[in-house]
Amino acid sequence: MTTAESLFQAFLNRHDDAAWAEVLDRLTPSIHPVDRRAVGIWFAFFPLRLHNALATASDPSAMARALSLAGKYRLADQVDSSHEFLYGHRYWPEVKREVNSYLSGSPASLKLDDQIVESATRTSKRINADVSLLVGITAVAFMTLQQAGPDVFSRTAEARSYGARWKKSPDQIVAGRIRDAGQGLFGFLRTIDKRFTVTFREYEPGSTFEVINDQELTTASARDQRDYRLQDQRCIEGPIPVECRTAACGTCWVGILSDTRRLSEPTPREVRKMADFGYSGFTGDGSSPIRLACQTRSHGNVSIVIPPWNGLLERLDEQSQPPNPIEETNQ
């Protein structure tokens, strides 16, 4: 590696998923609450190990079939849109421009989190925005650069209205996630039939559906009769992609932006199946930001994020195992 650009790329490529997890742990206190959970969810949606597996596969299409990948799973194909659910998305063109400037120089620090904060601070001063709103989206930009590569990443941001659909301030959005639905004039008479709201795109008005108390999110989603297939071919009924509703397929995984205490605890089956699916971010307890919607019951308003793809990532571990010499001998 001799060029300045390759030096910085080499610095990024030294970080795997585990190293990035440590970076995010250190960055989290610096991220505004509006994006604090959202950033962690984004990183769960775009794990580096999936990118690396596809990038190094002799036949990426065969690898995708082996992992039963469906939807938009390549970050390089959605550089400017994968993070729409972050409030910091509105600053993407400026953040991207700043991160691009790092390609022409060597890393200023050997600590990636310091580099991210430095970059976010420079952007915040230039556009006069709160740096806490820029740290998360800047971390996303660095990971996007690592996966997409400098040639794809450095392209001018797509012409679009970044963040224009957000009609509330960051603090209003955070407060809205805490607020629960009123039950009407005679709501005090409601018991098991209390009704709440699930929001699946905070940045897009009308992106909600109703959920009855203690109802699974996918069951409630299926009652939304609007056609979502033009936006996502995986959406057969309602906005949450689903195939089985028994935790057998892993299609309905979602990110949780709101208070997870309004959701049921993961069942032993969900814990077991999530280990099988291999999705990042699932903690196995009630605080988990990643859940299977078909196994998750709501007891209040919920704000979720729907990932653009699904698959069976546990097969990555299976494919990385060397052949069993005993089995080969017996064949």
Query: How many angstroms separate the CA atoms of 146 and 76, rounded?
Result: 10
* Domain spans, the chain: 4-153, 170-315
Evaluate if residue 139 carries a pLDDT over 60: yes
**201: CB partners within 8 A, 6+ apart:** 85, 207
Task: Give the model's confidence band at 43: pLDDT under 50 very low, under 70 low, under 90 confident, else very high.
Answer: very high
**pLDDT (tens digit, 9 = 90+) per residue, 275-299?**
999 999 999 999 999 999 999 999 9
Residue 230: is it exposed, middle or buried by C-beta count within 10 angstroms (0-12/13-18/19+)?
exposed
Alpha helices per DSSP H over the chain: 4-13, 17-27, 33-45, 48-56, 60-66, 92-100, 112-127, 132-148, 150-153, 170-178, 217-222, 268-277, 314-320, 325-330
User: Which range in 126-140, 158-172, 305-319 is most confidently predicted, on average pLDDT?
Assistant: 126-140
Query: How many angstroms separate the CA atoms of 192 and 43, rounded?
Result: 36
- Given CA atoms 142, 100, 52, 41 in this order, what sign does their dihedral have? positive
Ramachandran region, residue 26 (left: φ > 0; alpha: ψ -120 to 50; beta: rest): alpha
List C-alpha distances in Å: 163 to 35, 132, 204.
13, 16, 10
**pLDDT (tens digit, 9 = 90+) per residue, 78-123?**
999 999 999 999 999 999 999 998 887 667 778 999 999 999 999 9
- In terms of Cα–Cα distance, which of 88, 172, 93, 97 is closest to 131? 88
What DSSP assignment string belongs to 194-215? -EEEEES-TTSTT-EEEEETTE
- CATH 1.10.645.10 correct for 170-315: no
User: Region 243-272: what's the mean pLDDT?
Assistant: 96
Least confident of 192-206, 240-254, 312-326: 312-326
Torsion of CA 31, 259, 252, 140, to 10 degrees: 0
AA letter at 59 = D
Q: Which element (helix H / strand E) includes 285?
A: none
